[in-house]
């Protein structure tokens, strides 16, 4: 799941703009949107940083930027905006959260486990965003938010 253009429009102003070095040296800073998509992938899947797919920037870069944003309070602001957007768009009720919403279907008469079919697994953008918030860091942010 990648951020939609609408979601990106909401969070882009919260992210710091890259500062060019006075001497003009160094590599150009990797795009914030690609970094944020990589961070959200890790949050959603719970996978280690080094398992990030190649479609995202290097995991070291994503992890470093994640640390910068957490330290500066930027990541919490981004999560807050995304929560507000999800609530406004999908009328998603975040008053009840589950620690583990994963499941595996047992195939009748089979020895092993079967991966759930696409029809049985929710894949809406609301569900995908909710999975991000089931990760430990976003949950801590949500707990500090005041409910209406």
CB count in 10 Å sphere of residue 75: 23
Contacts of 57 (CB under 8 A, 6+ apart): 30, 31, 34, 35, 38
Percent of the chain with pLDDT over 70: 59
Which is more confident, 103 or 78? 78
- Tokens (6 digits) for 48: 């280690």
The Cα 61–Cα 56 span in angstroms is 10
The Cα 148–Cα 145 span in angstroms is 9
| Three-state DSSP state, 72 | helix
Domain span holding position 50: 5-144
Q: Judge whether 12 and 85 are in contact, CB under 8 Å.
A: no
| Three-state DSSP state, 105 | strand
Tally of domains within the chain: 1
Q: What is the pLDDT of residues 14-63, one digit of tens each?
A: 999 877 778 888 888 889 999 999 999 998 888 899 999 999 999 999 99
Q: What is the pLDDT of residues 64-88, one digit of tens each?
A: 999 999 999 999 999 888 888 887 8
Reported pTM: 0.63
Question: Which residue bears the tokens 């949950």?
Answer: 139
- Tokens (6 digits) for 74: 């930027």
């Amino acid at each position: 799941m990648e951020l939609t253009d609408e979601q990106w429009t909401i969070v882009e102003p919260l992210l710091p703009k890259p500062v060019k070095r006075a001497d003009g040296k160094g590599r150009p800073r990797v795009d914030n949107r690609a970094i944020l998509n990589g961070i959200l992938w890790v949050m959603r899947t719970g996978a280690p940083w080094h398992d990030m797919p190649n479609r995202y920037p290097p995991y070291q870069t994503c992890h470093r930027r994640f640390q910068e944003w957490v330290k500066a309070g930027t990541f919490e602001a981004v999560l807050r905006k995304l929560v507000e957007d999800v609530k406004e768009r999908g009328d998603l009720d975040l008053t009840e959260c589950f620690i583990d919403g994963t499941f595996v279907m047992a195939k009748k008469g089979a020895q092993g486990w079967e991966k759930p079919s696409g029809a049985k697994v929710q894949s809406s953008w609301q569900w995908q965003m909710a999975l991000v918030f089931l990760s430990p860091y976003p949950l801590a942010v949500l707990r500090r938010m005041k409910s209406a």
